[in-house]
Amino acid sequence: MQILAEGQPIRHGIYGPGVVVESDSDRTTVDFDDHGTRKFVTSIWSAELTGDPPVKLVRRRARKPRKPAAPKVLAAVAK
């Protein structure tokens, strides 16, 4: 398998449709629609190019950490 362009849509035999996030001579990272992000060894992985032009990737923002429960709520639960 060759190095793919960032944003190239692909279809993998197990994980289904996805978009290439990164690709170099060692590793290829793909964000799959239903299975999240997966890394593959570029020289041995296989996938089918869908023929669509590369799409512009939208970087997802990290989740904000949840705030801890208020002490009053914890005290009420303990009673």
Where in the chain are the domains?
A: 1-57
CA 1 to CA 14: how far, in whole Å? Answer: 17
Lowest-confidence segment of 14-18, 38-42, 49-53, 74-78 by average pLDDT? 74-78
Model-wide pTM > 0.75: no
Ramachandran sector of residue 21 (left: φ over 0; alpha: ψ -120 to 50; beta: rest): alpha
Residue 30 has pLDDT above 90, yes or no: yes
Q: Can you tell me the mean pLDDT for 44-64?
A: 73
Please give the pLDDT value at position 45.
Answer: 87
